[in-house]
Amino acid sequence: MSANSKSATMNIVRRHNIKAQKKFGQNFLTDDNVLDEIVEAAGVGSSDHVIEIGPGLGTLTKRLAEKAGHVTAIEIDRQMIPVLDEVLSEYENTRVICADVLKTDMQEIAGMYPDENVKVVANLPYYITTPIVTGLLESGVRYKSITVMVQTEVAERMQTGPGSKEYGALSLAVQYYSKPRIIVDVPPESFYPMPGVDSSVIRLDLYEEPPVRVKDPDRMFRIIKASFMQRRKTLSNALQNNPDTHIPREKTEEILGSLGLDLKIRGEALTLEQFAAFSDLV
């Protein structure tokens, strides 16, 4: 880790009397090498409009602004706004919005610069990684890519397949919309304050068309979520007991039989293609 980047961060923290907010999951990235790797992994260029979630002290934002056409940074913590105004004062291609990303109209933000590719780059708060990522994927915005820092365990979950204990609804959502690839692992020492977990940068390259065809994606994802809410139960029991699906056991077993699958199979054993085929037959 660069001593300069660490001391610069601590300088800003002391000068503005910044207190890292646990309620916002704040851990500020201070490693210059990792910051550069994130920008490189995202492939940021002058034709890109980058949306950054949780810019914090603006260390990543500055690097993005140097490469991108425009940067829109969404920050929920009001105490960070004066810091960002100061740090980004020389970058005319940046805009800071004080808002909760989960309550933000991403289509409106993405449409600000219609001639530019839209990319998301972020050091995400770990406690709400899943709702942020699924919200982005389901927003209807045609992102070119999403490059984010997340907990290593979550990054592995995004790219794993059936048979793994990490495999779940997040894996299937990510793989339906994008091709995930872990870029680099990041130790706790690269942050202030240090998190209690290891982190990874993962890039999601969004598909123009999903890799599987399904008549009703919403129904498929209701089935997927229901099957993993009680992952130790058979698929037929999980779907019958869940109020969002409530598919009779006999109906599930009939469909499984028609697909050549074990009638006692659990959801965690099905591929994305098999979930799509099952959904179409419901």
Per residue in 241-280, pLDDT (tens digit) is 999 999 999 999 999 999 999 999 999 999 999 999 999 9
Whether residue 268 is contained in a domain is answered as yes
Taking only the tens place, the pLDDT of each residue in 163-180 is: 899 999 999 999 999 999
Closest CA to 95 of 44, 50, 140: 50
Cis amide leading into 210 (omega within 30): no
Whether residue 127 is contained in a domain is answered as yes
DSSP state of 69: S
Identify whether residues 165 and 242 lie together within a single domain.
no
Total domain count for the chain?
Answer: 2
Q: State the CATH number of the domain containing residue 112.
A: 3.40.50.150
Rounded distance, CA 132 to CA 190, Å?
23
Identify whether residues 114 and 175 lie together within a single domain.
yes
pLDDT of residue 193: 75
Rg (CA), the chain: 21
Q: State the CATH number of the domain containing residue 233.
A: 1.10.8.100
Whether residue 211 is contained in a domain is answered as no
DSSP characters over 157-216: HHH--TTSTT-SHHHHHHHHHEEEEEEEEE-GGGEESPPSS-EEEEEEEE-SS-SS--S-
CB 128 within 8 A of CB 102: yes
Rounded distance, CA 205 to CA 137, Å?
11
Rounded distance, CA 88 to CA 83, Å?
8
pTM: 0.90
Identify whether residues 117 and 85 lie together within a single domain.
yes
Given 206, 237, 256, the domain boundary residue is 206
Task: Judge residue 176's burial from the number of C-beta atoms within 10 Å of its C-beta, 0-12 exposed, 13-18 middle, 19 or more buried.
Answer: buried
CB 36 within 8 A of CB 184: no
pLDDT of residue 21: 59
Region 8-35: what's the mean pLDDT? 72
Domain residues for the domain of 39 are 3-206
Band (pLDDT 50/70/90 cuts) for residue 1 is: very low
Identify whether residues 166 and 229 lie together within a single domain.
no
Whether residue 49 is contained in a domain is answered as yes
